[in-house]
Amino acid sequence: MGNEELNAGFLVLDDKPKLLMFNSEAVKILTYPTISQKIKCLDTFLTDRICKGLVTGHSGAGLTFTHEFKSGNRRYVCRAFELSVNALTAQTNGTSQQTKVLLLERNLSRVNALSSASRLFGFTLRENQTVELLLQGLTSKEIASRLGIRPNTVQAFVRMVMVKMGVTTRSGIVGKLFVSQS
């Protein structure tokens, strides 16, 4: 996807939960409205915020996390992924840790709308990717560049989405996405 800015928070935690890695967007999301430069011990602050705001409990599979949360007036989706630890790394450590990756994304309504529309209308993976980028306001040329395909292929995906949704314009796709959600 090139060098475009990732507008999602990214966190890596062990099962304690101890914060192992994070990106600047995660810091912005979790420290809002506080200015992160004014926080003396950022790791401790973030770990505390994760424990109080994102962790919902422990299960046999390790930590469980909330699916959505608020930071200020903004709503975020929290998606947790298990990170496989290489057997060699586990042998060097001497212990087997459960590591989780958390992805914090804004625009809950867009994520839900696309997800439910994808199931309802039976989008393929590429159609889904095309619609996601279309929702970001990208042109066919920009979508083609991001997906590494030709603009004519993007237009074919858009036409297939329009046929599946029963609309005749790109704005019809966007409109129907949010109507199908309600």
The b-or-e profile of 83-118 (16+ CB within 10 A means b, else e) is eeeeeeeeeeeeeebebbebbbbbbbebbebbeebb
C-alpha span between 25 and 41 (Å, rounded): 17
C-alpha span between 171 and 116 (Å, rounded): 18
Return per-residue pLDDT of the chain as tens, 182 residues. Answer: 333 345 789 999 987 888 999 999 999 999 988 887 888 899 899 999 998 889 888 776 678 888 888 888 787 888 888 877 665 455 555 555 678 899 998 765 666 678 888 888 999 999 999 998 898 888 999 999 999 999 999 999 999 999 999 999 999 998 888 765 55
The domains found in the chain, sorted by start residue, are 8-106 (3.30.450), 110-181 (1.10.10.10)
C-alpha span between 120 and 97 (Å, rounded): 38
Q: Where are the beta strands (DSSP E) in 130-171?
A: none
